[in-house]
Amino acid sequence: MLLDSIPPVSLPTGLSAAFAVSTTATATTSITIGTMTASEETLVRLSSTSSSPLDYRTHIRHINLEPGFVGVTFPLLHERIFHDSILGYIASKDFDDFYQAQPLSTIYGKPGLNESSVLYCYYTYILQHEVMWSLALPILEQLQSFTIQHTYSLKHFMRMIDRFRSLEEVRFLFMDFLEYIFLDPDWDTMTSRGEAAAWEMVGFVREHARLFRGCLKTVHCFSASHRWNDYGFVEDVKQEIYRILPPLSTPTHLGKGNWAQIMAHPDSTDLGHVWMVDGEGMPMMWYDVVCSDGQPILQRCRAMRVLKLEFFLGSKGPFQWAVQEKRDLEELAATGRSHQSRHETTFQSAHMAQGLLQLEDITITAFDHDLTGAIDDVVFAFSRTLKRLVIDRSERPPSMLPKVLQLGQGWVSLPVLTHLTLKIDMSRLVIDPDLLAQCRNLTDVLISDWTLQYRCQDIIPCSPAHLVSLQSLKLSGWSALTFNPATLSSTTQLTVLELALQQTDLDPSAYRGFVPPIMEICRSYGIQDCVSSSSSGTREQAEEIDKGATVQRMLRPQWTWDWHLPHLTRLVLETELAFLFEFKMLVGCPALEFLRLEIRSTVRGSHTRTLTELDVLFLPTATHANDDLSSFSSSTTTDTSTILPPSCERICLPSLRSLDLFGAWAIDEHVLQQLFQVTFPNLASISLQEWHFKTFRCLFNLIKSGSILPKGDRKRRLAPPATTHHNRNNNNEDYDEENPELMISLSTPSRAALSRLGWKFIGDPNCSAKAEVIQYHKDIGVSFVFGSSNGFNVRVTVDDGDRG
């Protein structure tokens, strides 16, 4: 629309050809560097006298291009896609003159390259320049920001620099220097040409600053491609440009985008309004830069609320100034005299006049460095205002760090902290026992480390914390093992609870977590007899544990599994906590939608959890609970259909939609039926990994007999939960409310196991008529659909092979 408003007679030749305008009727744009040519004057005059009733160009203040939308990509062009007028222009002397002013790389002189295609590509380069030229030339005086995409364009606009009286921001892309068709195989030639173009850019900025002092405030350069980073002159050019520009006026953020400009005028740039500092991509140790007044750069950002910092080895300590500020104010409040005044300084520090810096959100990342001291400084200096603390330390093995990293010792109270994230790779993170108790207003906690195995006797439990606002608690590693379960008595707002251990396999599907011998776990919790709950509590294990019985160990607080968590929707327990899990906890979690219990161990076959009917029962009151269940347990052996003891009720959790049971779970048909029909009546997704073959067989017997299918109008309760899309189930697969399905996924040696159960596959004779085999693939597995009279289906997907 904008180009249509320009009279065709005033368009440059290349652009006129693109509009299929006769080349004999158009004026050409001279490439001579000098005053405005006649054709340029015509373009300005005719554009300004446009007869259009509404001239949109009068409202334009910004003409810019992003790097991804400019430049010449070497195409497989053919003359058939061009209009005759374009082909005529490419063959003209005007085009050849343009080419001689900006020739292509000598690499295109090699045999085998299509010269015509290269010239067609070169035409697109000319067209880009002429479009920007035609749009901008009539309105240069009103432009506030502009993009110069080619070095050739810079020469043209340099002649018009006295018309850029409103220009505040300019972006130099110089895509012709970076495009493949212009690259020269001679590195010295490339470097020389690039440096010359870069200093021409400096000349444009310097001349504009001379003509319109203080008008141009922002220059973007060398950002179109990473190739500029290969040239040594780039930093010198940047510094020269930023020295020409005026200091930034009260910037509100500090980062890699304006760091160089701030460093060009470090003392005259007012950083008092900077509220966000993003250190990602900044020079190493940038935070150690000290200004002429003796203050570190961060200390001058008195309005700072958010800080993202990459910590580097060898730093003097990015927050020592903040620690000293707080100590000065504390000393002043206590004695009336500060450490600063005793040294008779000649100026009053900002913190004495304005108070402490109110930092609220800090993220610190580091590689291979021990940043304990820096974290301690942050907590001490900003304890009254810190709301979000994120520590993320990654390592590249082999690591120079100790195997154990201690954090939180001596921390003061953090009364307003709501979000705490501590992620430590390749080391064990030992948090102070009182750390969580010091942060009483936490809402989100994520702590993880690299604990792969451990001894129960080394675990020192944390103190109970009163966290009434906690909504999400995710602990992985040592923090999960030392977590005090008494904390859950106060977390009535909790929605997510995940307690896990670092996996020992890089493949998540082959998860293996370390689980100590069962007798050792029980002894650490003070549980006298847990052999009956597991088939792995052998005499040999007990004897092995007894050998170390002389070692004095602190008893860990027992998990009572009786908390009231009315808002909990997601529960994930792994390794020893999953093994000890008691289903009675579900009674206090009426909103639970997702449950995962993971007991796959690094020692295969060593930890089997047997579920009996006792596991899906509970006593409504605690009166005589132990006596009733003990007598019931002693009167039942393998017969799980025994009459229920007095006062017992079956656990029922209608809200649960997704169940993951991973590891060696031993469950008979009767208990399985109780789980699917009574305990979890509205399941939409079940994922089972490495079940015992007997349990696997029981499950398929229930499927074939139809005992697992919901009855009556239960399918109406299978509407997707509020947390998922209306037409998706928990596996993110299409969900059909007219034909609901229960999704069951198994990981086991599928074909062999199913063959042992008498199942047939596509292509096998006498394929089973009891189920429709949907598909079978060696990498995907086999999927079955079992139908029922009420329109409810069970879909079973079995993962193939022995990968489990």
Residue 24 CB burial class (10 angstroms; 0-12, 13-18, ≥19): exposed
Q: In the prediction, which pLDDT does 577 show?
A: 92
Query: In 3-state terms, what secondary structure has residue 540?
Result: helix
- Contacting residues for 332 by C-beta, under 8 A, at least 6 apart: 338, 352
End-to-end CA distance of the chain: 63
What are the tokens at 225? 């491609």
**How large is the greatest C-alpha to C-alpha distance in the chain, in angstroms?**
109
pLDDT (mean) for 293-317: 88
502/427 Cα distance (integer angstroms)? 11
CA distances from 156 to 160, 164, 166 (A): 7, 13, 18
Q: In the prediction, which pLDDT does 177 show?
A: 54
757/696 Cα distance (integer angstroms)? 10
CA distances from 681 to 125, 651, 656, 786 (A): 67, 11, 8, 17
Q: In the prediction, which pLDDT does 62 show?
A: 92
106/113 Cα distance (integer angstroms)? 12
177/221 Cα distance (integer angstroms)? 13
Lowest mean pLDDT among 148-157, 441-450, 503-512: 503-512
SS3 track for 122-190: HHHHHHHHHHHHHHHHHHHHHCCEEEECCHHHHHHHHHCHHHCCCCCEEEECCHHHHCHHHCCCCHHHH
User: Is the pLDDT confidence value at 408 over 80?
Assistant: yes
744/796 Cα distance (integer angstroms)? 5
Where do the DSSP E strands lie in 469-536? 472-476, 496-500
Max avg pLDDT among 53-67, 265-279, 395-409, 713-727 = 265-279
Residue 555 CB burial class (10 angstroms; 0-12, 13-18, ≥19): exposed
User: Is the pLDDT confidence value at 6 over 70?
Assistant: no
User: Is the pLDDT confidence value at 201 over 60?
Assistant: yes
pLDDT (mean) for 378-393: 95
Residue 25 CB burial class (10 angstroms; 0-12, 13-18, ≥19): exposed
pLDDT (mean) for 617-625: 57
User: Is the pLDDT confidence value at 629 over 50?
Assistant: no
| Residue burial 625-656, b: 16+ Cβ < 10 Å; e: rest | beebbeebeeebeeebeeeebeebeebebebb
**Residue corresponding to tokens 């959790």:** 653
| Listed residue (238, 231, 229, 236) closest to 259, CA to CA | 238
What are the tokens at 593? 């939608």
User: Is the pLDDT confidence value at 440 over 80?
Assistant: yes
Q: In the prediction, which pLDDT does 173 show?
A: 82
In degrees rounded to 5, what are phi and psi of residue 209? -65, -35
Q: Comparing 132 with 460, which gets the higher pLDDT?
A: 460
Domain ranges of the chain: 3-228, 361-368+375-619+650-687, 620-649, 688-804
573/571 Cα distance (integer angstroms)? 7
638/666 Cα distance (integer angstroms)? 12
Query: pLDDT class for 391, splitting at 50, 70, 90?
Result: very high
pLDDT (mean) for 158-182: 80
98/94 Cα distance (integer angstroms)? 6
pLDDT (mean) for 139-154: 87
Q: Comparing 111 with 496, which gets the higher pLDDT?
A: 496
SS3 track for 278-323: ECCCCCCCHHHCECCCCCECHHHCCCCCEEEEEECCCCCCCCHHHH
SS3 track for 637-699: CCCCCCCCCCCCEECCCCCCCEEEEECEEEECHHHHHHHHHHHCCCCCEEEEECCCHHHHHHH
Which residues, listed in sequence order, are joined to residue 743 by a DSSP beta bridge? 685, 795
pLDDT (mean) for 542-566: 69
- Contacting residues for 703 by C-beta, under 8 A, at least 6 apart: 744, 786, 794, 796
Q: What integer best gives the mean pLDDT of the chain?
A: 74
pLDDT (mean) for 776-795: 43
Lowest mean pLDDT among 570-584, 589-603, 645-659: 645-659
| Residue burial 603-620, b: 16+ Cβ < 10 Å; e: rest | eeebbbbbbbbbbbbbbe
Do 488 and 563 form a contact (C-beta atoms < 8 A)? yes
Q: Comparing 149 with 473, which gets the higher pLDDT?
A: 473
Do 571 and 511 form a contact (C-beta atoms < 8 A)? no
The helix (H) or strand (E) run that includes residue 332 is helix 320-335
667/650 Cα distance (integer angstroms)? 17
Q: In the prediction, which pLDDT does 552 show?
A: 41
pTM: 0.76
User: Is the pLDDT confidence value at 69 over 70?
Assistant: no
pLDDT (mean) for 228-238: 77
DSSP-derived secondary structure letter, 620: S
336/329 Cα distance (integer angstroms)? 9
Max avg pLDDT among 429-438, 513-522, 633-642 = 429-438
Query: pLDDT class for 550, splitting at 50, 70, 90?
Result: very low
Listing DSSP states for 30-50 in one string gives ---SSS--HHHHHHHHHHHT-
DSSP-derived secondary structure letter, 336: S
Q: In the prediction, which pLDDT does 296 show?
A: 92
Q: In the prediction, which pLDDT does 186 show?
A: 62
**Tens of pLDDT, residues 306-355:** 999 988 776 778 999 999 999 988 888 887 765 554 444 433 455 565 67
Angle at 41 between CA 36 and CA 47, to 5 degrees: 140
Which residues, listed in sequence order, are joined to residue 342 by a DSSP beta bridge? none
**Tens of pLDDT, residues 515-530:** 888 888 888 888 866 5
Lowest mean pLDDT among 91-100, 146-155, 163-172: 91-100
Fold of 361-368+375-619+650-687: 3.80.10
Q: In the prediction, which pLDDT does 399 show?
A: 56
679/582 Cα distance (integer angstroms)? 13
352/339 Cα distance (integer angstroms)? 12
Max avg pLDDT among 124-133, 238-247, 344-353 = 238-247
Residue 591 CB burial class (10 angstroms; 0-12, 13-18, ≥19): middle
Percent of residues, the chain, with pLDDT higher than 70: 61
Do 456 and 553 form a contact (C-beta atoms < 8 A)? yes
**Tens of pLDDT, residues 574-583:** 989 999 999 9
Length of the chain: 804
User: Is the pLDDT confidence value at 801 over 50?
Assistant: no
Query: pLDDT class for 733, splitting at 50, 70, 90?
Result: very low
Listing DSSP states for 568-624 in one string gives --EEEEETHHHHH--GGGGGG-TT--EEEEE--BSSTTS-EEEE-GGGGEE-SS-TT
pLDDT (mean) for 25-41: 39
Q: Comparing 214 with 763, which gets the higher pLDDT?
A: 214
Query: pLDDT class for 623, splitting at 50, 70, 90?
Result: very low
Max avg pLDDT among 49-63, 369-383, 703-717, 775-789 = 369-383
352/307 Cα distance (integer angstroms)? 22
Q: In the prediction, which pLDDT does 722 show?
A: 29
User: Is the pLDDT confidence value at 584 over 60?
Assistant: yes
User: Is the pLDDT confidence value at 235 over 90?
Assistant: no
- Contacting residues for 487 by C-beta, under 8 A, at least 6 apart: 436, 464, 465, 466, 467
pLDDT (mean) for 162-171: 95
Q: In the prediction, which pLDDT does 709 show?
A: 56
Q: Comparing 271 with 89, which gets the higher pLDDT?
A: 271
| Listed residue (529, 583, 591) closest to 561, CA to CA | 583
What are the tokens at 622? 């605690």
For residues 202, 208, 211, 216, the Cα torsion angle rounded to the nearest 10 degrees is: -120
Lowest mean pLDDT among 132-141, 301-310, 362-371: 362-371
Q: In the prediction, which pLDDT does 717 show?
A: 32
Do 586 and 565 form a contact (C-beta atoms < 8 A)? no
Do 624 and 570 form a contact (C-beta atoms < 8 A)? no
489/467 Cα distance (integer angstroms)? 9
In degrees rounded to 5, what are phi and psi of residue 319? -125, 15
User: Is the pLDDT confidence value at 711 over 60?
Assistant: no
What are the tokens at 4? 């249509």
Query: pLDDT class for 414, splitting at 50, 70, 90?
Result: very high
Where do the DSSP E strands lie in 471-590? 472-476, 496-500, 570-574
| Residue burial 368-388, b: 16+ Cβ < 10 Å; e: rest | bbbbeebbbbbbbbbbebbbb
Q: In the prediction, which pLDDT does 225 show?
A: 59
Do 795 and 742 form a contact (C-beta atoms < 8 A)? yes
